[in-house]
Structure 1
Amino acid sequence: MTRDGLIVPVPPPSGGPCVVCGHTSPAAVEVGYSRQASGPGIVQYACPRHATAFVPGPVPDELLTSRDLLQ
């Protein structure tokens, strides 16, 4: 293995900007989800520094759909 194979570049930031400080982090955490009347909803992210202090809201996997209510 070469030295170049051991040096890995920093991954690009994933997710969106932190809802508290606005910085984009490669380790962003989903902390909430806002539904939209038209189009897809907005996923809210927090950087690791603020994720523990931010009160989490529902994320898309936690939301019930009308199909879930009928079962």
Structure 2
Amino acid sequence: GAADHHGSTKVNMWQEPLNPGNWKEEHFVLTSLAMWGAIIYGGLKVFGGKKEVKTELADVVELTAVMLS
């Protein structure tokens, strides 16, 4: 009839973790969002974290300490 199911049956992500084409749509969306979040977070940690950069003030303080000693 008109209500016959076409295509593969959708399953939970953890039932077929290596076959995302068969996942339920909401599981695919959540997994994709988690993946992108991890990629962005990792990229920020690697490339955008606090860097140890000497400022001019630190150089002046260091130079002053050397001159006074």
More helix by share: 2
More strand by share: 1
Q: TM-score, normalised by structure 1?
A: 0.26
Greater Rg by CA: 2
Greater length-normalized contact order (CA 8 Å, ≥ 6 residues apart): 1
Q: TM-score, normalised by structure 2?
A: 0.27
